[in-house]
Amino acid sequence: MGQEKSYSVTISAIQCKMARAATGLGVRDLADIVGSSPNTITRLERGEQLRPNTIAAVRAALEAAGVEFIEENGGGQGVRMRK
């Protein structure tokens, strides 16, 4: 069996906010892309618990928009735009 890359679907509330700001997406814009309600995005950004598949869909949408999520590495979680 080969080694598989561990992929976390978790994103923090602040990462979601930063990613939206970096892409210029509003709450409603992101909700439309994900196929959820704006309230769901707002709940994520307040740090409330959401279903893992919802978080994965939000992350995938933001990554498709060019965002890279930076995991905790001693300097804190963050986001950046792909080149």
Question: Can you list the alpha helix ranges (DSSP code H) found in the chain?
Answer: 13-23, 27-34, 38-45, 52-64
- Indicate which CATH number applies to the domain containing 39: 1.10.260.40
Number of domains forming the structure of the chain = 1
Quote the domain boundaries for residue 23: 13-71
What residues does 78 pair with on adjacent strands? Answer: 70
pLDDT per residue of the chain (83 residues) written in tens, 0 to 9:
444 444 456 899 999 999 999 999 999 999 999 999 999 999 999 999 999 999 999 999 999 999 999 987 777 889 999 98
Q: Give Cβ neighbours of residue 67 (< 8 Å, ≥ 6 apart).
A: 19, 22, 23, 79, 80, 81, 82
Q: Token pair of 30, please?
A: 């992101």
CA distance 79 to 64: 13
- Model pTM score: 0.84
